[in-house]
Structure 1
Amino acid sequence: MDKIGKLASENGVVIFSKSTCCLCYAVQILFRDLGVQPLVHDIDHDPEGKDIEKALARMGCSGPVPAVYIGGKLMGSTNEIMSLHLSGSLVQLLRAQHQTN
């Protein structure tokens, strides 16, 4: 879906989220605690939200939300992001993204 690609490529970190999702909120707080202000796109407030949700699932996001993009690349949902964080790889990805911008 073009909207997903456009948002992901134009912003360093994008979280596709739902306003009522506690896991989405937890991932947002993690990024903010790491000093990153992600673009949060609440698909439940988007008229194309159902289509975005289906497209994210087709792209391989296990969630479908939260779906996290870093540097235009789909990193995954909560499990993938928490695994990256616990291994120390998330901070490295964010630093690399920051250096390219």
Structure 2
Amino acid sequence: MASLDVQEFIQQNRALADQVERFRGVSESDKHWEGRREFLLRNMNDYEEADVDHLLALSMVWANNVFLGCRYSAELLEKVKEMAEGIEVDAPVFMTRDEIVKKQQGR
């Protein structure tokens, strides 16, 4: 879903959009929320009401990895990246300490 597609989807599915909106974190920026909201909307139908907490946790893993550079197991990252396929966000590029040191040594 492109940004315009997300807005159209929200307008056409107001009840679902309102349900997802309640999951926004109090301190979550608009930029982070827009990406995570799209993640939730894309995957909501794959999770039963009882599994919503699991979906919320996966959305946080994805957002933390993309926006904050948090690292998780390769298996978990593979799963959330697959779930987020096609979501476009303006995310920072992170380098590990080893990558920074290697870059410094190359100068």
Q: State the TM-score, normalizing by the size of structure 1.
A: 0.33
Higher helix fraction: Structure 1 or Structure 2?
2
Bigger Rg over Cα: 2
